Amino acid sequence: MSTFKEIRGTLIKSLSSDPSTAVNGDIWYNSTSQVLKGVQQVAAWASGGAYTTGRRSFGSAGTQTANLIFGGAEPAASNKTEEYNGSSWTAGGVLGSSGYGVRGFGTQTAAVSSGIFTPGGVQTSVFEYDGSSWTAATALPSARAVVGTTGILTAGLVFGGATGPFSSTSNSTFKYDGTNWTAVNNMSSGRAYIAGFGTQGAAAGCGGYTGSPTATNTVATTEEYDGTNWSAGGAMAGNLCRHSSSGIQTAGLAFGGSRPSPAVNTTENYNGSTWSTNPATLSSTNYFTGGGSPAGTDTTALATAGGSSPYAKTTEEFTVAATTRTFTTS
């Protein structure tokens, strides 16, 4: 049998008390209590403050403690915005158009709403949020809804999405510099309800709905963008769409959604090449459809539920904490 030193390259220290600066992966023998101890990261979802207006298919921006949701269906098309401070939601400025299938990127005080589906159809509408009000910005080069998004207001990326009826999908990619949009290289396949995370120059798009007339044609595919080209990444644990995300290309998080039906409460981690299933699960299995934390991380994320009518108002917070554990033989 291999020893700990052979595996990790170090001996287990014998200490009279637990160290105050231990980090994940550290292990030691406490000679006072005569037990083996170590530090392990533990991930979990916990309930946050419920938002005011139940809705689905809305946009989001920001982090776990400074989040923004906007638009959506109540079921009527909505233009409402709500802001989250880590514990409760308050009303924000009214979005410039009422609609759903909207997606966002950026922070709570510098957000972008890109594309939207209104009663008149899919639109090119883009709006910018400054922390209190929305203003109209340069429109997308072509009409889109339920797109993938990454980045910040001055360096954003929009890809995929629906071009009309939600069975009509696109593989186009547009860069945003805070003023203008530029068409760049396409993804390998068209997908709507795709989740994105990362930056404009290092992005990932995962899962999605490829445009079949039925809701079963979802994929587990991931594509990575390097600022110029898209290339194949690792496959998710299963086909997934209408999910939410957080993090960067090499440390991403995807959660909720559907595979393709019914809704799921699973969480997956991405390390830049492969996906792994996280043991932490959401308490809700409603579709999230855009309600993530685009500016968040893979250790601090936010999920805001949508689902089917009556639409949920659920908020859940994801955290990863280092916990000292006592190891036993059981």
Q: What percent of the chain has pLDDT over 70?
A: 88
Whether 137 and 20 share a structural domain: no
Whether 103 and 35 share a structural domain: no
What residues contact residue 253 under an 8 Å CB cut-off, 6+ apart? 197, 245, 246, 247, 267, 268, 269, 270, 278, 297, 298, 301, 318
Whether 186 and 271 share a structural domain: yes
pTM score over 0.75: yes
Alpha carbon distance 82, 97 (integer Å) = 15
pLDDT tens-digit map of 107-155: 999 999 999 999 899 999 999 999 999 999 999 999 999 999 999 999 9
Q: Is the pLDDT of residue 48 over 80?
A: yes
Q: Which domain holds residue 235?
A: 43-320
Q: How many independent structural domains does the chain possess?
A: 2
Give the containing element (helix H, strand E) for 83: strand 81-84
pLDDT tens-digit map of 156-194: 999 999 998 767 899 999 999 999 999 999 999 999 999
Give the bridge partners for 48, in sequence order. none
Whether 140 and 223 share a structural domain: yes
User: Token digits for 139?
Assistant: 């429109």
Contact 89, 66 (CB under 8 A): no
- SS3 state of residue 8: helix
Contact 229, 223 (CB under 8 A): no
Nearest to 69 by CA among 294, 280, 299: 294
Whether 8 and 117 share a structural domain: no
Count Cβ atoms below 10 Å from residue 5 Cβ, excluding itself: 10
Whether 18 and 142 share a structural domain: no
pLDDT tens-digit map of 216-247: 689 999 999 999 999 999 999 999 999 999 99
